[in-house]
């Protein structure tokens, strides 16, 4: 093989690899091996007796080897192969990211394309790329074929230490420390880490989407062999993803961007709307709070005080109050993110209706959960939902998901993905270091860190505080409550400073089984995170990542007491120094480093807040309107600080119109009022029910990067047609509905979370054709308009649950309780007959009985009105 030479730009390639010369197949000499190299990493492809194999070396040391090939219904492309052509080139990927360990990327890769022919002249191209941080290959076919599997496999030394993830499709098992040969027979998920002498290899895949199927590694017991197994029995495709081995020392592996480098380029040209940041999240610390509007406002207030980007409202939110929560939050400089079970968006129709609706409320992103599949069909769903959210400028967090495959490069509005046994599973601290060397290497990881009062409380407070540096995630969803963080003000002080995207990342020290120390740079500050597993010890961090000169280093470490606040100390150090900290059992520390100058005492930057503002609108209460009617809206706006480029407008709902001008002001001094008046025309084709008329004030504020959005709404009600006769409630329109799990079902039980997935309504063995299937807590409003006299039903718990629940049923007329069942447990249906004479609005409520909502499937059977 020709010797290697270092180019001026620091890129090493195999001699002659850049020629790109194609030799006609008839003239090509027989060649059994092809070698591709890049800066100490080499891949040798061999063709022996018609079978392909791959050997990967680092600095002359063999790290792994393995078989190559593809099986289709029409050809066996793993044997009887012959090479007919080869081509070489250098590929340089230059791009910027919205999230990740390194914002600006420039990666040279040497590429070999080997054209192969099998029986009946069936063609397959093997494409191999080698970078300074690893090797990847893929298969390409001249046209789509039905692929039945791959011959792709990796062979590691049997005694190589290994950190493996027993496979499930949501990647949330505990990783096991074993050896390549000693691991149990079975399937293991990507990425899988192996230590081979001086080197490490992290096996994973890249550029996986709906064009193919996901895969896993199947171990052959008693050997070091791991075969690539697809999630589907067959896949229709013309190419495979990149089978990817990140290779190097631990620093090379953890700092690698190879998975992103191999992925398809961004499909989004303008990324200015994408905003990483810190997120307050209530579900883990206060499980019922996502259904509590007032509690969510407290999380918004906390986020605003601490300059956190957003609040995630998890499972349990209500469409009745989310728009108002969004208005409340945005006026304080906080955005709202909403949770969805993926089945709420599993059809094109749902994506085209639900997502535009929440976008119209002002929601900035969605958390999509429980996909739990690596099949090609599910990956096609990822493709469609990512395209739709991108078109609406909605950011995305995937939970219950597959791992990143470079998706955040292709779709940079992906802020993070779960696919980890995170804080919600209460993992032991001993499981924390390995995630930094495995799962988090391949993309942002929504571990939901920093549990101070919630969870098992085994890791020290400083260990928890260090996690947002050790773990990279474009959105960091912090796991605890405002009260917990405010009881730890020094911990909160650090969290308020730590970024969620990074310009530079370096592994400082660590090992998957013992601990991890990472340094990450955001702008001109370095943040250090160190976590340790096991007994108390001294953790040392050489500061070689710092540039020359003197640096102020503030260290955040555990204080006195098992769950007390962290303490902060500072010193001036240089890149020649080593920072050593005594840490507790399962402890850690964090640090911030900034340039030292005379008089500088802290690296903290001031927190930014939007100006306080007031937007008053009239009419202030709910207004009944009829189709074709017009009414006046007025607004008055002011702030407590000078602001610029103010714009005050009223927004017409769909099918309505607004007369009157938008009022603008180049500069609005503090306390000065801006007023406007409009005439709103109700559309003749307006839907019935509640319709909000938003009034919006937008402005620019000093030291605030985004335009501030302050919104109030005039609440109107467009009455539906009057009811007559004896209609079933399941046949009339709902004015509003909320449900504890999935949508309210008509003439079916609630069953699971998908719309229309219910079973026949069944109470104590009796099946009912008509009625409502709900899940506590639920609420259904029906407009009566004074036209009805009686409501009748049979209420009870549906038989579909395997464990008993308990609920209470209530019937309200114009907000007044007319019937309360008291506590209801499984048993026969209870007859309900309520006088609703003269009532404008009927409300049917189900509460959880006081013991939580699990198994609370509640039916309103034979629900009927007399009108």
Positions annotated as catalytic residues are 369, 424
Residue 226's pLDDT is 98
Between vectors from CA 121 to CA 118 and to CA 127, what angle results, nearest 5°? 55
- How many whole angstroms from its chain centre is CA 850? 32
Residue 246: name the closest of 41, 100, 89 by CA.
Answer: 41
Decide if 83 contacts 10 (C-beta within 8 A). no
Q: What would the two tokens of residue 526 be?
A: 């370095």
Residue 450's pLDDT is 98
Residue 753's pLDDT is 80
Q: Positive or negative, the Cα torsion across 410, 415, 416, 417?
A: negative
Q: What would the two tokens of residue 830 be?
A: 């209870």
Residue 578's pLDDT is 98
Q: What DSSP designation does 157 have?
A: -
Task: Write the pLDDT tens digit of every residue in 646-679.
Answer: 999 999 999 999 999 999 999 999 999 999 999 9
Please list the alpha-helical segments (H only) found in 50-191: none
**Strand partners of residue 766:** 763
Residue 803's pLDDT is 86
Distance CA 292, CA 282 (A): 10
Distance CA 821, CA 830 (A): 9
Among all chains, which residue has been given the structure tokens 């046949």? 731
Residue 727 main-chain phi, psi, to 5 deg: -75, 145
CA dist 271 → 99, 387, 780, 831, 832 (Å): 11, 14, 40, 57, 56
Distance CA 262, CA 450 (A): 32
How long, in residues, is the chain? Answer: 867
Task: Write the pLDDT tens digit of every residue in 790-827.
Answer: 999 999 999 998 888 999 999 999 999 999 999 999 99
Q: Which residues contact 278 (CB under 8 A, 6 or more apart)?
A: 303, 306, 308, 309, 310, 475, 476, 478, 495, 498, 500
3-state SS track over 572-636: EECCCCEEEEEECCCCEEEEEEEECCCCCCCCCCCCCCCCCEEEEEECCCCEECCCCCEEEEEEE
Among all chains, which residue has been given the structure tokens 């899940």? 775
Q: What would the two tokens of residue 260 be?
A: 């992103």
Q: What DSSP designation does 454 have?
A: S
Distance CA 156, CA 68 (A): 15
Q: Which residues contact 380 (CB under 8 A, 6 or more apart)?
A: 210
Q: What would the two tokens of residue 314 be?
A: 């998890």
Residue 159: name the closest of 175, 176, 178, 177 by CA.
Answer: 178
**Strand partners of residue 209:** none
Distance CA 703, CA 729 (A): 54
Among all chains, which residue has been given the structure tokens 């309504």? 761
Residue 31's pLDDT is 53
Residue 442: name the closest of 261, 209, 214 by CA.
Answer: 261
- Domains of the chain listed by start with CATH number: 5-262 (2.70.98.10), 613-718 (2.60.40.10), 729-866 (2.60.120.1060)
Under-70 pLDDT residues of the chain = 1-31
């Amino acid at each position: 093989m020709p010797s290697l030479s270092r180019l001026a730009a620091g890129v090493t390639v195999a001699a002659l690899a850049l020629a790109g010369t194609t030799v006609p197949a008839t003239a090509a000499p027989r060649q059994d091996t092809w070698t591709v190299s890049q800066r100490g990493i080499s891949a040798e492809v061999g063709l022996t007796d018609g079978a392909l194999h791959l050997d990967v070396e680092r600095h002359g040391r063999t790290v792994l080897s393995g078989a190559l090939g593809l099986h289709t219904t029409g050809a066996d492309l793993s044997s009887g192969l012959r090479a007919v052509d080869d081509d070489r080139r250098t590929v340089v990927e230059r791009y910027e990211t919205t999230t990740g360990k390194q914002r600006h990327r420039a990666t040279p890769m040497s590429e070999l394309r080997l054209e192969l022919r099998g029986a009946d002249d069936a063609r397959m191209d093997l494409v191999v790329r080698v970078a300074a941080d690893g090797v990847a290959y893929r298969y390409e076919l001249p046209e789509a074929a039905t692929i039945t599997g791959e011959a792709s496999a990796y062979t590691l030394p049997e005694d190589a230490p290994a950190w493996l993830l027993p496979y499930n499709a949501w990647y949330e098992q505990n990783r096991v420390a074993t050896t390549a040969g000693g691991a149990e027979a079975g399937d293991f998920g990507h990425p899988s880490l192996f230590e081979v002498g001086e080197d490490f290899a992290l096996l994973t895949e890249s550029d996986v989407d709906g064009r193919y199927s996901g895969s896993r590694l199947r171990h052959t017991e008693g050997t070091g062999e791991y075969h690539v197994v697809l999630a589907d029995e067959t896949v229709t495709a013309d190419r495979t993803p990149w089978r990817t081995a990140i290779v190097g020392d631990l620093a090379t592996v953890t700092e690698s961007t190879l998975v992103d480098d191999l992925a398809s380029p961004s499909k989004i040209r303008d990324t200015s709307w994408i905003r990483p940041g810190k997120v307050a999240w209530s579900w883990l610390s206060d499980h019922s709070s996502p259904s509590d509007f007032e509690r969510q406002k407290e999380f918004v207030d906390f986020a605003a005080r601490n300059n956190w980007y957003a609040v995630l409202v998890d499972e349990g939110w209500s469409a009745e109050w989310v728009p108002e929560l969004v208005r409340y939050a945005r006026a304080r400089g906080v955005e709202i993110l909403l949770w969805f079970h993926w089945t709420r968006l599993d059809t094109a129709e749902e994506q085209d209706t639900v997502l535009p609706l929440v976008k119209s409320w002002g929601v900035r992103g969605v958390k999509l959960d429980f996909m739990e599949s690596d099949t090609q069909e599910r990956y096609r769903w990822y493709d469609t939902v990512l395209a739709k959210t991108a078109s609406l400028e909605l950011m995305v967090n995937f939970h219950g998901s597959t791992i990143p495959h470079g998706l955040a490069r292709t779709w940079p509005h992906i802020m993070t993905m779960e696919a980890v046994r995170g804080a919600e599973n209460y993992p032991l601290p001993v499981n924390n270091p390995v995630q930094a060397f495995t799962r988090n290497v391949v993309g942002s990881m929504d571990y939901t860190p920093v549990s101070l009062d919630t969870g098992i409380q085994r890791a020290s407070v400083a260990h928890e505080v260090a996690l947002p540096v050790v773990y990279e995630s474009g959105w960091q969803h912090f796991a605890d409550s405002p009260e917990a963080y405010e009881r730890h003000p020094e911990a909160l002080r650090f969290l308020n400073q730590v970024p969620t995207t990074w310009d530079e990342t370096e592994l400082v020290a660590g090992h998957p089984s013992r601990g991890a120390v990472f340094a990450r740079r955001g702008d001109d500050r370095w943040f250090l995170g160190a976590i340790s597993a096991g007994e108390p010890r001294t953790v040392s961090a050489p500061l070689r990542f710092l540039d020359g000169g003197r640096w102020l280093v503030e260290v955040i470490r555990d204080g006195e007491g098992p769950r007390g606040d962290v303490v902060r100390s500072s010193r001036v150090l240089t890149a020649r120094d080593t920072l050593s900290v005594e840490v507790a059992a399962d402890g850690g520390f964090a640090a911030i480093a900034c340039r030292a100058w005379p008089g500088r005492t802290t690296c903290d930057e001031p927190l930014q807040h939007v100006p306080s503002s007031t937007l008053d609108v009239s009419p202030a209460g709910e207004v009944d309107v009829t189709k074709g009617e017009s009414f006046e809206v007025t607004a008055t706006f002011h702030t407590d600080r000078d602001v610029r480029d103010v714009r005050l407008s009223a927004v017409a709902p769909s099918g309505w119109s607004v007369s009157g001008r938008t009022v603008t002001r180049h500069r609005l001094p503090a306390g000065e009022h801006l007023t406007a008046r409009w005439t709103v025309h109700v559309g003749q084709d307006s839907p019935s029910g509640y319709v909000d008329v938003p009034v919006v004030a937008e402005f620019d504020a000093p030291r605030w990067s985004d335009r501030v959005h302050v919104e109030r709404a005039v609440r109107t009600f467009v009455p539906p047609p009057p009811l007559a006769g004896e209609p079933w409630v399941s046949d009339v329109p709902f004015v509003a509905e909320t449900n504890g799990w999935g949508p309210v079902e008509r003439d079916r039980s609630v069953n699971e979370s998908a719309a229309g997935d219910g079973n026949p309504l069944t109470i104590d063995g009796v099946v009912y054709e008509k009625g409502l299937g709900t899940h506590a807590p639920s609420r259904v409003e029906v407009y009566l308009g004074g036209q009805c006299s009686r409501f009748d039903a049979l209420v009870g718990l549906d038989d579909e649950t395997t464990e008993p629940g308990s609920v209470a049923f209530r019937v309200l007329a114009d907000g007044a309780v007319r019937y309360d069942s008291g506590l209801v447990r499984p048993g026969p249906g209870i007859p309900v007959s309520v006088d609703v004479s003269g009532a404008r609005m009927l409300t049917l409520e189900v509460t959880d009985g006081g013991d939580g909502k699990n198994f609370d499937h509640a039916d309103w059977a034979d629900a009927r009105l007399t009108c």
